[in-house]
Chain A
Amino acid sequence: MSAAAGAAALSGESYLTDGFSLRSWLLTTDHKRIAILYLASITVFFFIGAAGAALVRYNLIVPEGLIKSAETYNRLFTMHGVVMVWFFLVPAVPVTLGNFIVPLMLGARDLAFPKLNLVSWYLFMLGGAIVLYSLFTGGVDTGWTFYTPLTTQYSKGHVVATVIGIFIAGFSSIATGLNFIVSIHRLRAPGMTWFRMPVFLWSLYATSVILVLATPVLAMTLVLLAFERIFHIGVFDPTLGGDPLLFQHLFWFYSHPAVYIMILPGFGIVSEIVPAFSRKPLFGYTFVVWASIGIAVISFLVWGHHMFVAGTSLFSALVFSILSYMVAVPSAIKVFNWIGTLHKGFIRFDAPMLYALGFIGLFTMGGLTGLFVAALAADVHLTQTYFVVAHFHYVMVGGMVSAFFAGLHYWWPKITGRHYPEMWGRAGALIIFIGFHLTFFPQFILGYLGMPRRYHSYAPEFQVLNVLSSAGTTILAAGYLLPLGYLTWSLLRGERAAPNPWDATGLEWQTPSPPPTENFVATPVVTEEPYAYPRPKPQATS
């Protein structure tokens, strides 16, 4: 244990014991406390969104639909999509693990703009409250994509309220992204050069670039959408001179990069965990770094693959198809580098590692099936079917949520100062992996056979696969409730954590668990490359 960590441990103060009043939490500017506020909030949103998914799968157990009204079904899958995309998947890793870990990894005392960080949480909660209000008073039936002119002219739901909620939450994303970029540029500890930064920082940097540059595009698009909805004259209505394809271009200009907002932080988490649990340096560090940046750049150039059948020109469809293939290159580089890291490593199968390995498997499947839908000819057959649903759930739920859990377990001792129960953690990882495959693999087949998405009933021959998928959902639900249970339990009863329980590199492990409010008593100095594994044996005499 370093001298600095020892001094803080002696005083016994941590960010958790620095004030116990409600006020000391709600008006905190400590990035670690804001991360906790966010963690509690997104957990609530996750389970609301999951409830929507559960009801969707419940409906699809029988061909004619167990929920009798197609309208209700539409509102349910829209609620699931809106809550999951904007109130869980997009913010989840940056605002919780990112908020907590980024300053610690940088060797900084806080983010560059702590007040802005708190403002971002309030914006998030305000946006979330508006969206939940609109969803619980009837919701919207447009799907999370808000396509015009359905949204602006024909839908009967609370479109404007939902859009305002998403608009406000978007500014919380921008605030977080801005804070990360500026902090990474300006608050690196002495000796922490760009290429000594852990990949988690690089991937959050890339994520933040997308957050800052893509979110405003969505924001303005939603302004124009709301205007059209309110006044029934606008930019996207073809009968009044507007252009509905313009909406789709703008929407996907945000929403495709948003996919990488969701998955890039996952790449970062896995790049931390795989070396730590293989006791080897990350294979091809610079390649992984540049792959992150490459993905962020290319992600802005592929949005047109969502519009192959929307009436865009064949030429543009071809170009977007080729560009979409190009994203696979940096993504594959990452997968190969993780596998290269595992090769001949001393692998330990603790829960974070199991979740991370689950991520690699699920993401690889999600990524490879992405090539099917990026291929122009195949997509014409597969678009708007369950194949697409399965593909993006493999990336977002299988990939991103697994990575989130991996990171949550990995840093849990640091965040709370307590260990989660290891056996339960491993069981959770396994149950989620199995439940996930059972839920979503049948959907690939369903989609390939031609079952369209977003319909509340289906042809009887699809029933077996649908029942399998719905059965998988119950296992998946158990898998998600399990961590909620044992992680909460560990807050009170978990074993106390040492500053560096995994014997990992990274500055966040050089301070007590949980860290003191000022993170580091003395500013750390970085003298070595990241992932300097295997770490030297601690001397018995110290």
Chain B
Amino acid sequence: MSDAALPHAFQYESARHQARTAIAGMWLFLASEVLFFGVLFLSWIVCRHWNQAGFDAGARQTALAIGTLNTVILITSSAFYTAGVAFIEASNTRRLIQCCALAWVLGLAFLILKFGIEWHEDLARHLFPGPRFAITGELRTGAQLFFVFYFVATALHGLHLLAGLGLVGWIIRRAGRGEFSAQYSTPVAVVGLYWSFVDMVWIVLFPLIYLIGRGP
């Protein structure tokens, strides 16, 4: 099929022109997102600088096992998704759907582990900042601040992941209707960028939450 025959919106010269523009748009959106999360990381580090011992005490209360498992899960899901992108570039729709489905299920597993189990535990152990906060004494202030960041960051990351699940589900549906091929797979690539970005945010969050200051 020739490039010119593919459908495209009227402001573009060709489907290829439109596809590359969509990808550029997603990159720019991710640049914006980097600053959004960047502020969170920066504030986190600044507050940690003022309250190091408290932050360390907070970090020691986090569930390292679940965090590590979740990191593996998320990276694996990105690997599957990326494989899916490669498959559709070879016009293999069936494999694309399988890869996306695996990525989707892993994403859901992350959310269940994070919010169904880990948050549940955290809340039960009174780790949410407030009058009934579990850690007392002079480390309380810093530990509470640590958990402010913990809950804000994981909630925002979780919301991004939830949006990602919606997008991957949308790709699966469209792939199921046979809309993608080697000639046209832009949405697959665009969602892939977003999915990997959510993964990258977690890769920064993982050490911030679970590793730094945990001690020997």
CB of A350 within 8 Å of the partner chain: no
Which residue of chain B lies nearest to A103 when distances are taken between CB atoms in the complex?
B11
Residue B163 lies at the interface, judged by CB distance under 8 Å to chain A: no
Which chain A residue has the least Cβ–Cβ distance from B33? A216
Mask for B1-39, Cβ within 8 A of A = 1, else 0?
000000001111000010011101100110111011111
Question: Residue among B11, B37, B142, B144 with the most chain A CB within 10 A?
Answer: B11
Contacts of B144 in A (CB 8 A): 233, 240-241
Return the chain B residue nearest A234 by Cβ.
B148
Whether the pair B31, A212 counts as a contact (CB closer than 8 A) is yes
Q: Are B43 and A235 in contact (CB under 8 A)?
A: yes
**B158 an interface residue at 8 Å Cβ cutoff?**
no
Residues in B whose Cβ lies below 8 Å from that of A235: 43, 47, 145, 148-149
Contacts of B152 in A (CB 8 A): 223-224, 227
Contacts of A221 in B (CB 8 A): 39
Q: Which of B21, B47, B148 contacts A243 (CB 8 A)?
A: B47
Indicate whether B185 reaches chain A with its CB closer than 8 angstroms: no
Contact between chains at A220 and B36 (CB < 8 Å)? yes
B216 within 8 A of A: no
B25 partner residues in chain A, CB cutoff 8 A: 112-113, 116, 178-179, 182
- Chain A contacts of B50 at CB under 8 A? 241, 243
Verify A241–B142 contact, CB threshold 8 A: yes
4 interchain residue pairs of minimum CB distance = A216-B36, A220-B39, A241-B141, A109-B11
Query: Is A343 in contact with chain B by the CB < 8 A criterion?
Result: no
How far, in angstroms, from A108 to B13 measured CA to CA in the complex? 10
Contacts of B107 in A (CB 8 A): none
27 A-B residue contacts at CB 8 Å?
Answer: A103-B11, A110-B9, A114-B9, A114-B11, A174-B29, A182-B25, A187-B11, A212-B28, A212-B31, A212-B32, A216-B32, A216-B36, A216-B39, A219-B36, A224-B43, A224-B152, A227-B152, A233-B129, A233-B148, A235-B47, A235-B145, A240-B144, A241-B141, A241-B142, A241-B144, A243-B47, A243-B50
Size bin of chain B's contact surface: 35 or more
A113 vs B29: C-alpha distance when bound (angstroms): 12
Query: Contact at B35–A223, with CB atoms within 8 Å?
Result: no
Known contacts A186-B17, A231-B129, A241-B50: A110-B145 contact under CB 8 Å: no
Residue on A nearest B55 in the bound complex, by CB: A241
Decide yes or no whether B67 CB sits under 8 A from chain A. Answer: no
Closest CB of chain B to A170's CB: distance in Å?
A: 10
A469 vs B215: C-alpha distance when bound (angstroms): 63
Number of interface residues of A (CB under 8 A): 41
Q: Is B162's CB within 8 Å of the partner chain A?
A: no
A476 and B36 alpha carbons, distance in the complex (Å): 39
Question: Given the complex, which residues of A lie within 8 Å of B145, measured CB to CB?
Answer: 233-235, 240-242
Given contacts A216-B33, A246-B46, contact A241 B156 (CB under 8 A): no
Asked if A518 CB lies within 8 Å of chain B CBs, one says yes
A residues 102-143 near B (Cβ < 8 Å) are: 103, 108-114, 116
A9: interface (CB < 8 Å)? no
- A116: nearest chain-B partner, CB-CB: B25
Chain B CB within 10 Å — which of A174, A216, A217, A223 has the most? A216
Measured between beta carbons, the chain B residues less than 8 angstroms from A217 are 35-36, 38-39
- Give residues in B with beta carbon < 8 Å to A: 9-12, 17, 20-22, 24-25, 28-29, 31-33, 35-40, 43, 46-47, 50-51, 54, 129-130, 141-142, 144-145, 148-149, 152, 156
Is there contact, CB below 8 Å, between A178 and B43?
no
Which residues on the B side are within 8 Å of A178 (C-beta)? Answer: 25, 28-29, 32
Contact B28 A181 (CB under 8 A): yes
What is the CB-to-nearest-CB distance from A381 to chain B, in angstroms, rounded to a whole number? 31
Instruction: Report the bound CA distance from A490 to B129 in whole Å.
Output: 59
Interface presence of A37 (CB below 8 A): no
Most central of B32, B38, B47, B152 by chain A CB within 10 Å: B32
Residues of A within 8 A of B (CB): 103, 108-114, 116, 174, 178-179, 181-182, 185-187, 212-217, 219-221, 223-224, 227-228, 231, 233-235, 240-243, 246, 250, 518
On chain B, the residues within 8 Å of A108 by CB distance are 11
- Chain B residue numbers with a CB within 8 Å of A231 are 129-130, 148
**Chain B CB within 10 A, most for which of A110, A212, A227, A233:** A233
Assembly CA distance A234 to B150 (angstroms): 12
Q: Is the interface of B mostly helix, strand, loop or mixed?
A: helix
14 more A-B residue pairs beyond the given contacts A235-B47, A241-B54, with a C-beta to C-beta distance below 8 A: A108-B11, A113-B22, A174-B32, A187-B11, A212-B32, A213-B32, A215-B32, A220-B36, A220-B40, A228-B148, A233-B148, A240-B145, A241-B50, A241-B51
Decide if A112 touches B39 in the complex (CB within 8 Å): no
Chain B residues contacting A116 (CB-CB under 8 Å) are 25
The interface residues of chain A lying within 8 Å CB-to-CB of B47 are 235, 241-243, 246
CA distance A41 to B17 in the complex (A): 33
Contacts of B54 in A (CB 8 A): 241
CA distance A234 to B145 in the complex (A): 6
B43 touches A250 (CB 8 A): yes
Closest residue on chain A to residue B141 by CB atoms: A241
What are the residues of chain B within 8 A of A215 when measuring CB–CB?
Answer: 32
CA gap between A9 and B29 in the complex, in Å:
39
Please report the C-alpha to C-alpha distance between residue A516 and residue B211 in the assembled complex, in whole angstroms: 60
Nearest-neighbour CB distance to chain A for B17, whole angstroms, equals 7
**Chain B residue at minimum C-beta to C-beta distance from A182:** B25
Set B20, B37, B46, B130: member contacting A186, Cβ < 8 A: B20
Q: Could you tell me if B10 and A110 are in contact, using CB atoms closer than 8 angstroms?
A: yes
Task: Give B193 Cβ to nearest chain A Cβ, in Å.
Answer: 14
A227 cross-chain contacts in B, Cβ below 8 A: 148, 152
Q: Which residue of A lies closest to B39 (CB)?
A: A220
Please give the distance in Å from A328's CB to the nearest CB on chain B. 26
Max count, chain A CB within 10 A of own CB: residue among B35, B36, B50 = B35
Question: Are B148 and A182 interface neighbours, CB within 8 A?
Answer: no
Instruction: Kindly state the separation between the CA atoms of A184 and B35 in the bound complex, as whole angstroms.
Output: 22
Complex CA–CA separation, A217 to B129 (angstroms): 24
The residue from B9, B32, B39, B142 contacting A250, defined by CB atoms under 8 A apart: B39
Chain A's nearest CB lies how many Å from the CB of B204? 14
Among residues of B, the one whose C-beta sits closest to the C-beta of A228 is: B148
A227 CA to B149 CA in the complex, in Å? 10
Using Cβ atoms and an 8 Å threshold, which residues of chain B touch A241? 47, 50-51, 54, 141-142, 144-145
CB of B129 to closest CB in A, whole Å: 4
Contacts of B9 in A (CB 8 A): 110, 114
A182 to B190, CA, bound (A): 15
Whole-angstrom distance from the CB of B201 to the nearest CB of chain A? Answer: 12
Chain A residues near B38 (CB, 8 Å)? Answer: 217
CB distance from B182 to the nearest CB of A (A): 23
CB distance from A522 to the nearest CB of B (A): 13
What chain A residues lie within 8 Å of B129 (beta carbons)? 231, 233
CB distance from A105 to the nearest CB of B (A): 14
